[in-house]
């Protein structure tokens, strides 16, 4: 697998390596940051929860102390003690009782008005008078039957020094709207006899108590509530909360038995994990706060989300930087590879643009220098080869010209022998023109029209020898007459057609010359075909005609065709040349395919 990865492209390896290193660094850093930050936040949450619970406990202790202090003040009040003693002697008239009630009620109202935490104060007796502040309703007391309730009997009979009742609606308040109160009960004693004869009921304002607790929160949905020393729920701001479930849980019971408050613990209620913290109060009560753990760690989860978000952004930025850096490194290399591909296609002018000073830039400069040197060497080699080929072509023409002169002079000799003096002049004139054309005074190229004129002059000479036995037809597009081709390109082929194709036949023959233009991809190509209906060429001899080493065995036929073939390759490249198709007894066709002269620079 590693070997396969190492064999991939350089850009892939660079990007992958940088992304891997960046990803590992970001992940490692993120994990460390997440671990440290979550630890700090968790500690802060715990400390904040403990402080909130302690603050709530201290404030509630203050409120509860108000109730106990007020009960002591009432139990020692001289007016109240005097009324209790007079009532105990049984010497009070109805008017006295009415006057005492007004006096005691006014006293209690004054005490309530002096303290914002207290909602109402009642003095209750099973046998005797009952007094109260505010909207105290004596008829409700009579219907209530105090002796049926433990909180009253325990206090009135001296079995308990005081009692607290859970947050409830005041059962003794008059009017249609009952009041929410937290009730504190203290024995009402006759200080002379030290006997408990009733109960002092002090009702703390339930709304004030709830506000005191509710203003201190744990998270968004966390709640504080208060329990007494026995673990009974005394104050709960939310009647629909999970406080009852918590107090009934094994975790709470185990915690109470194991050690004293304050403590913090976790438990599961209704499939949800909760974090709870407790703080003791001076009265022995305890403030308990609880909140779902998922909410407490909300900040931690938010940090986690931000860490992954920022990590993702950094990774994307790293990917972009890695890609840009990889592209910066590999683009010059790819450019260099493209230039090398051009070099494979023999394009030695494909210089690469160098813009950097690094190692790749140095390599590109060295490659450009190498290309220039190779181009110079190739130019030198081409010049040498061109001169060599031209020398070979001249030597080849020197071989062809004697053969051509021999054939032509033989024809003139034949005309003199048979006293055809009228054709000797025309034959010698045609010969002079042909010799002048072969001397290349006007360069190595002629137009097709001029080349056809030379062929016609050559045929003038040959017709003197073969009379009507020899016929030439020319089919050439007039638009091609001004197109240039190498001079004397067609004459050797026509000559071979006459002497090696038609001459051996006794009946004469036909030579057909066709010149057309055809499309060859995006270029234009000349197609020249010279066909005869002569004796044809044997297959074994046909394969020797264009092979340099076999040219001498093929005789003058091979020399003439080789001359044309090598001329085409010299001027049009090695991919050009001629093709020969022949069948014994049916004739021979020679096909030449040439680019237009104006496109030869692109072909070479």
Instruction: Residue 263: name the closest of 282, 244, 290 by CA.
Output: 290
Residues 382 and 520 in one domain: no
State how far the Cα of 314 lies from the Cα of 500, in Å rounded to an integer: 85
Residues 484 and 387 in one domain: no
Instruction: Residue 567: name the closest of 408, 345, 430, 400 by CA.
Output: 400
Helix, strand, coil shares of the chain, percent, nearest 5, are 55, 20, 25
The DSSP output letter for 551 is T
Residues 458 and 362 in one domain: no
In a domain, 201, yes or no: yes
In a domain, 124, yes or no: yes
- Give pTM, 2 decimals: 0.48
Q: Are 437 and 597 in contact (CB under 8 A)?
A: no
The strands making up 587-595's β-sheet, listed across from edge to edge, are 470-476, 509-520, 523-532, 587-595, 577-583
Q: From start to end of 348-396, where are the E strands?
A: none
Residues 360 and 490 in one domain: no
Question: Taken in order 426, 427, 428, 434, is the CA torsion positive or negative?
Answer: positive
Q: What is the CATH number of the domain that holds 552?
A: 3.30.565.10
pLDDT at 591: 93
Helices 421-438 + 448-466 axis angle, to 10: 150
Q: Are 444 and 486 in contact (CB under 8 A)?
A: yes
Residues 387 and 501 in one domain: no
DSSP string, 38-102: HHHHHHHHHHHHHHHHHHHHHHHHHHHHHHHHHHHHHHT-HHHHHHHHHHHHT---HHHHHHHHH
In a domain, 334, yes or no: no
pLDDT at 148: 81
Residues 368 and 496 in one domain: no
Mean pLDDT per block of 10 residues along the chain (604 residues) reads 56 69 73 70 73 80 87 87 79 78 88 88 84 81 79 83 85 72 88 83 88 73 77 73 63 61 68 79 79 72 74 78 72 70 65 65 74 78 73 56 68 71 71 68 80 87 75 91 87 87 85 90 86 88 65 52 80 79 89 74 48
Q: Are 238 and 254 in contact (CB under 8 A)?
A: no
Question: Among the three residues 189, 205, 221, which one is the final residue of a domain in this structure?
Answer: 205
In a domain, 54, yes or no: no
Residues 466 and 568 in one domain: yes
Q: Are 202 and 186 in contact (CB under 8 A)?
A: yes
Question: Among the three residues 365, 397, 429, which one is the final residue of a domain in this structure?
Answer: 397
Q: Are 235 and 213 in contact (CB under 8 A)?
A: yes
State how far the Cα of 277 lies from the Cα of 56, in Å rounded to an integer: 12
Question: Among the three residues 205, 231, 261, which one is the final residue of a domain in this structure?
Answer: 205
pLDDT at 47: 77
In a domain, 528, yes or no: yes
Residues 464 and 574 in one domain: yes
In a domain, 298, yes or no: no
Residues 471 and 575 in one domain: yes
pLDDT at 552: 46
Residues 449 and 573 in one domain: yes
Q: Which long-range contacts (CB under 8 A, 24 or more apart) does 100-106 make?
A: 100/129, 101/129, 101/131, 103/79, 104/79, 104/80, 104/131, 105/131, 105/132, 105/133, 105/136
Residues 390 and 453 in one domain: no
Instruction: Residue 559: name the closest of 391, 388, 392 by CA.
Output: 392
Q: Which residue(s) pair with 227 in the sheet? A: 233, 286
Residues 380 and 517 in one domain: no
Give residue 572's domain range.
444-595
In a domain, 65, yes or no: no
pLDDT at 546: 61
pLDDT at 344: 65
State how far the Cα of 360 lies from the Cα of 41, in Å rounded to an integer: 52
In a domain, 127, yes or no: yes
pLDDT at 399: 52
In the chain, the number of structural domains is 3
State how far the Cα of 466 lies from the Cα of 535, in Å rounded to an integer: 16
Q: What is the CATH number of the domain that holds 126?
A: 3.30.450.20
């Amino acid at each position: 697998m590693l070997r396969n990865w190492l064999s991939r492209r350089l850009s892939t390896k660079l990007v992958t390596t940088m992304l891997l290193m960046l990803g590992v660094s970001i992940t490692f850093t993120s994990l460390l940051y997440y671990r440290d930050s979550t630890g700090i936040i968790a500690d802060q949450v715990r400390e904040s929860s403990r402080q909130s619970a302690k603050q709530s406990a201290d404030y509630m202790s203050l409120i509860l102390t108000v109730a106990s202090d007020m009960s002591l003040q009432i139990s020692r009040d001289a007016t109240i003690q005097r009324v209790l003693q007079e009532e105990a002697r049984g010497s009070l008239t109805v008017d006295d009782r009415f006057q005492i009630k007004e006096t005691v009620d006014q006293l209690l109202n004054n005490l309530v008005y002096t303290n914002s935490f207290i909602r109402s104060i009642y003095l209750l007796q099973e046998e005797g008078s009952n007094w109260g502040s505010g909207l105290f309703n004596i008829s409700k007391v009579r219907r209530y039957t105090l002796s049926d309730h433990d909180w009253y009997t325990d206090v009135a009979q001296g079995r308990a020094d005081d009692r607290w009742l859970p947050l409830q609606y005041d059962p003794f308040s008059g009017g249609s709207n009952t009041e929410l109160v937290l009730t504190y009960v203290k024995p009402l004693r006759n200080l002379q006899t030290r006997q408990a004869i009733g109960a002092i009921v002090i009702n703390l304002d339930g709304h004030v108590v709830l506000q005191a607790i509710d203003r201190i929160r744990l998270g968004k949905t966390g709640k504080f509530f208060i329990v007494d020393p026995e673990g009974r729920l005394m104050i709960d701001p939310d009647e629909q909360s999970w406080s009852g479930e918590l107090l009934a849980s094994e975790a709470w019971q185990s915690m109470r038995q194991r050690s004293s408050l304050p403590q913090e613990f976790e438990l599961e209620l209704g499939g949800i994990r909760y974090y709870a913290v407790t703080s003791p109060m001076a009265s022995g009560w305890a403030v308990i706060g609880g909140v779902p753990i998922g909410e407490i760690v909300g900040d931690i989860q938010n940090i986690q989300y931000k860490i992954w978000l920022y990590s993702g952004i950094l990774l994307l930025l790293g990917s972009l930087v890695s890609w840009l850096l990889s592209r910066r490194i590999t683009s010059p290399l790819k450019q260099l590879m493209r230039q090398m591909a051009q070099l494979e296609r023999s394009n030695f002018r494909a210089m690469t643009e160098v813009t950097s000073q690094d190692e790749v830039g140095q390599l590109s400069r060295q490659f450009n220098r190498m290309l220039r040197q190779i181009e110079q060497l190739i130019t030198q080699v081409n010049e040498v080869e061109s001169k060599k080929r031209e020398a070979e072509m001249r030597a080849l023409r020197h071989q062809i010209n004697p053969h051509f002169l021999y054939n032509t002079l033989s024809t003139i000799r034949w005309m003199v022998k048979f006293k055809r003096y009228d054709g000797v002049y025309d034959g010698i004139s045609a010969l002079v023109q042909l010799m002048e054309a072969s001397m290349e005074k006007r360069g190595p190229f002629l137009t097709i029209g001029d080349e056809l004129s030379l062929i016609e002059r050559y045929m003038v000479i040959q017709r003197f020898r073969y009379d009507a036995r020899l016929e030439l037809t020319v089919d050439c597009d007039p638009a091609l007459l001004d197109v240039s081709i190498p001079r004397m390109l067609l004459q050797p082929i026509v000559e071979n057609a006459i002497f090696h194709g038609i001459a051996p036949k006794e009946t004469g023959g036909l030579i057909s010359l066709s010149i057309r233009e055809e499309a060859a991809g995006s270029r234009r190509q000349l197609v020249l075909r010279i066909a005869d209906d002569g004796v044809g060429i044997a297959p074994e001899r046909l394969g020797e005609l264009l092979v340099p080493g076999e040219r001498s065995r093929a005789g003058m036929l091979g020399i003439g065709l080789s001359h044309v073939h090598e001329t085409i390759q010299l001027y049009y490249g090695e991919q050009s040349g001629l093709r020969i198709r022949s069948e014994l007894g049916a004739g021979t066709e020679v096909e030449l395919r040439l680019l237009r002269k104006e496109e030869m620079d692109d072909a070479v």
